[in-house]
């Protein structure tokens, strides 16, 4: 693996562009949650595909698709990030150490993701380890999801695994427009969630990247999903190339980040609900999914490094 670009801020997010041994380009990220230092909470966000076949309307990763990242290549991403912080890569003494299979690619369409998740506890001594799968729930991933459920129960019980479904709207036609036509319905997601959730597990996250004028009906959510098993995460639409191209305007911005009426509606219906902004600086850094790998593939990045400790710069 050759690192061909490094971008960001060391106290927020650092994105790496890598050329793998097969010549394909991917990106991966380590991030923190200010003001929490990385020694307390450290998040690795790795790619599972070279691009993505789903082509969600807001995601630059879907501009191309050149196949799956192998188990060995995913572990290479993880090892590289760990070595950047630890001399002994086998012991990661971070209370909250999250590995998200959520960068470029739909993880449930790559069976090697299951093998990585299965092997992580035997590779690393990491008491705070928590894998995270974020999925749009493609219909073709049914077998993957059934196998994931078994692995979670065997290796990651008692809140050691985080599952997130990208929902974005309660209108099924809009969901198909945003993501893909061949995805689980909300009822199918709820049925799976009933079998997934066991005592001690973390609540399943339903994520809404909110677009102006896209329907999100709180009553529909309460009818389908049990607040005892699900948590609602509201996020803005990041200014990716695809979002701008498709005229997707975020319903959350810096002016209303602390108030969004839907949050209060959902809370009244019993849902634990929060707005997840991250840091607006990340939009300026450009560490949204797929942006840099796509720019590199298009020849739009000419320099190797724009990583700075106190400021950021894009060229």
> Percent of the chain scored above 70 by pLDDT?
89
Q: CA-to-CA distance for 18 and 259, rounded, in angstroms?
A: 39
Average pLDDT of 275-301? 65
pTM above 0.85, yes or no: yes
Q: CA-to-CA distance for 212 and 223, rounded, in angstroms?
A: 23
| Lowest mean pLDDT, pick from 31-40, 80-89, 279-288 | 279-288
Rg of the Cα atoms in the chain:
19
Res 181 pLDDT > 90: no
Tens-place pLDDT, residues 210-225: 998 899 999 999 999 9
| Lowest mean pLDDT, pick from 230-239, 270-279, 282-291 | 282-291
Res 71 pLDDT > 60: yes
Q: Which residue, 106, 114, 95, is CA-closest to 39?
A: 95
Q: Which residue, 143, 147, 145, 89, is CA-closest to 120?
A: 89
CA distances from 242 to 56, 192, 198, 226, 313 (A): 9, 31, 38, 33, 21
Comparison of pLDDT for 206 and 32, the residue scoring more = 206
Res 286 pLDDT > 80: no
């Amino acid at each position: 693996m050759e690192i061909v670009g490094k971008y960001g801020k060391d106290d927020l997010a650092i994105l790496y562009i890598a050329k793998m041994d097969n010549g394909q380009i991917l990106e991966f990220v380590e991030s923190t949650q200010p003001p929490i230092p990385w020694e307390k909470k450290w998040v690795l966000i790795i790619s599972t595909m070279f691009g993505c076949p789903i082509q969600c309307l807001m995601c630059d990763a879907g501009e191309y698709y050149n196949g799956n990242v192998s188990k060995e290549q995913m572990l290479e991403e993880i090892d590289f990030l760990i070595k950047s912080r630890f001399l002994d890569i086998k012991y990661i003494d971070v209370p909250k150490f999250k590995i998200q299979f959520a960068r470029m690619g739909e993880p449930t369409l790559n069976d090697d993701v299951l093998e990585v998740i299965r092997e992580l506890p035997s590779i690393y001594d990491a008491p705070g380890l928590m894998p995270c799968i974020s999925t749009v729930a493609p219909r073709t991933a049914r077998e993957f999801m059934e196998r994931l459920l078994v692995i979670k129960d065997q290796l990651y019980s008692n809140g050691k695994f985080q599952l997130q479904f990208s929902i974005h709207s309660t209108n099924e036609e809009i969901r198909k427009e945003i993501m893909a036509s061949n995805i689980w319905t909300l009822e199918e997601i709820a049925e799976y969630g009933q079998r997934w959730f066991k005592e001690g597990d973390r609540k399943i996250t339903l994520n809404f990247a909110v677009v102006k004028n896209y329907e999100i009906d709180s009553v529909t959510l309460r009818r389908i999903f049990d607040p005892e098993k699900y948590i609602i995460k509201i996020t803005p639409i990041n200014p990716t190339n695809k979002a701008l191209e498709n005229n997707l305007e975020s319903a959350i911005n810096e002016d209303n980040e602390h108030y969004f009426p839907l949050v209060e509606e959902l809370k009244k219906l019993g849902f634990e609900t929060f707005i997840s902004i991250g840091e607006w600086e990340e939009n300026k850094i450009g560490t949204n999914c797929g942006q840099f790998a796509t720019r590199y593939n298009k020849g739009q990045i000419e320099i190797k490094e724009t990583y700075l400790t106190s400021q950021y710069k894009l060229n």
